Structure 1
């Protein structure tokens, strides 16, 4: 991570006076985007990018009442309590190792991965990467508190889904997902329409197998964006970035949580695919861009989802994944 001057920590401190959302429902993507830029050697551009994004930020929300060990269940899934939840995790992380806090709360939060359009778990995944790859600084621990707090506030579970015939591989399983007949409306409206999904990897219980399958899912969803991203250029990004956030978090979690994490990540990726996929894919031309050139183009474009999909594509690291990132650049509106 290119962060020798502490630029990432400075950027996170700058952002922690802002709330996790704006306009009551749209996610603040800046902490995720600046972490991705720093991770790929563009720390020197972080503050300039933030200056462009800053008009989208809103003030940190007001607190309602402290979340405690006794009352946390009643506050779970209440977006009005975002500040309360962030404060709770800030206090927890000040006195306990962050891995212990994560291990305690991950199984509590995992069933509600779908809230906030999956952005909370993505934010947590970026925060965990900073802690695993560098120093456990105050701003990075605070960022984890913000991510976990946002997740708790937007916690949203799914009803039982009807299992459909699946497929052996992740790519085939995503192809087997039936797009919703009516794709009008926002994320919560569409999510409520998802009633059935193909079964995939449901029998996996071995942690190492779960990690392999999750890696396969991230690759398949990223590749699929290259041919299907035109269905909804922004929201389909999450079919890849949400499971990748889970994959990034696995090394910090007890191995017993890896298989449940796979199953939740599959459901999230498949649900997003059902909600936004077009009925037909389109050919996607290969790209000759290097990783460095791809990051530079994503940075110049500036859209936060383009930056985050490029980040995931570079994790996958093959030609089809890089082509998916180029496709996102072509489809998406640049940051003003």
Structure 2
């Protein structure tokens, strides 16, 4: 992994200061849209854009809403009944704050990850994505109080938005992740919000079948999926520029979390990540891709639950041609300002190849700049 792919651990205090500001707000706004501030700010700081983090948050904070009030405390005895109840998000957050105060965060993660994994698609996958950003910070830097608190908030949001997928037919799958994504059946009517679309899912290719047989094979398969979904955005992201980023960022959040999990959880994590990526693909991808200059990898993906404030931007082919510097690509995403674009570009830098950078350029082109 190159230095650019690895990123920078924050020693400036910028991330902790930003997280403390963010934790004054709740995890959602406007009824259902996720608070993307902790994820976007973490990516900005890690990718060398720390000086822009507070300025970005200053502009974003007007969108944020207060944390809802408590309904009833979540406990070790009643948590089952609170799972997936967004009205209990404050209760879940306080529960995980207590859990992480009493036990190491890795212990809490190992206990709750398998419980939450079946509901990976809840909240448009933002629960697991937020956890992935939080775990990356804890693994690579100091375990400060704001970072552990962010981990608790992330788990609390995932628990409150927990939403299992319907029972699905297991279809014969081709051997590769890219081919499997190509063969995901699209839902008949791509309209409505994500929960209504997920209710129309019928079946997915059973990729990668009974493999992988060990934790390292699971990690390799998950890396292949992240790469394939990132590449595919270049040719298919136009159909739903915001929602289709999650086909890559959700499995990448799982990939980032693997090192903090027991080996026995790696294979089920990979399968859940595939389900999330396939679900987003089925719900939002177009039937045909569009060729993109500079995209050297075969890849495949209209409406959007978050497009009230995003419209399709003008395409700029010059950004899809020739070798690109990863740091320059992320600097463009940071200047663009859109939270999903920042997070997708962060994932593209994890993938690290030219096709991934082209896909990041497409996200910058397709989504409307925030400023």
| TM-score normalised according to structure 1 size | 0.99
How many residue pairs get matched? 336
Equivalence for 1:322 = 357
Deviations 1:184-222 (A, max 9, x none): 111101111111111101312311100000000000000
Deviations 1:64-104 (A, max 9, x none): 11111111111111000000000000001011010000000
Equivalence for 1:271 = 279
Secondary structure (helix, strand or coil) at the match of 2:199 reads: helix
Q: Residue 202 of structure 1 contacts residue 263 of structure 1 at CA under 8 Å; is this kept in 2?
A: no
Equivalence for 1:18 = 25
- Provide structure 2 residue ranges, at least 5 long, that are not aligned to the other structure: 1-7, 295-320
How far 1:2 sits from its partner (Å)? 5.0
* Cα separation, 2, equivalents of 1:313 and 1:158: 27
Residue of structure 2 aligned with 1:153, choices 151, 155, 160: 160
* Cα separation, 2, equivalents of 1:242 and 1:13: 25
How far 1:3 sits from its partner (Å)? 2.0
Q: Residue 11 of structure 1 contacts residue 46 of structure 1 at CA under 8 Å; is this kept in 2?
A: yes
| TM-score normalised according to structure 2 size | 0.89
Q: CA RMSD in A?
A: 0.9
User: Which aligned pairs between 1:271-310 and structure 2 lie closer than 5 A?
Assistant: 271-286=279-294, 287=321, 288-310=323-345
Q: Residue 173 of structure 2 contacts residue 208 of structure 2 at CA under 8 Å; is this kept in 1?
A: no
How far 1:135 sits from its partner (Å)? 0.3
Secondary structure (helix, strand or coil) at the match of 2:11 reads: coil
* Cα separation, 1, equivalents of 2:103 and 2:165: 31
Equivalence for 1:236 = 244
Residue of structure 2 aligned with 1:29, choices 33, 36, 46: 36
* Runs of 4 or more above 4 Å deviation: none
- Provide structure 1 residue ranges, at least 5 long, that are not aligned to the other structure: none
* Cα separation, 2, equivalents of 1:171 and 1:130: 29
Q: Does 1:331 align with 2:360?
A: no
Q: Residue 2 of structure 1 contacts residue 40 of structure 1 at CA under 8 Å; is this kept in 2?
A: no
User: Which aligned pairs between 1:1-336 and structure 2 lie closer than 5 A?
Assistant: 1-204=8-211, 205-286=213-294, 287=321, 288-336=323-371
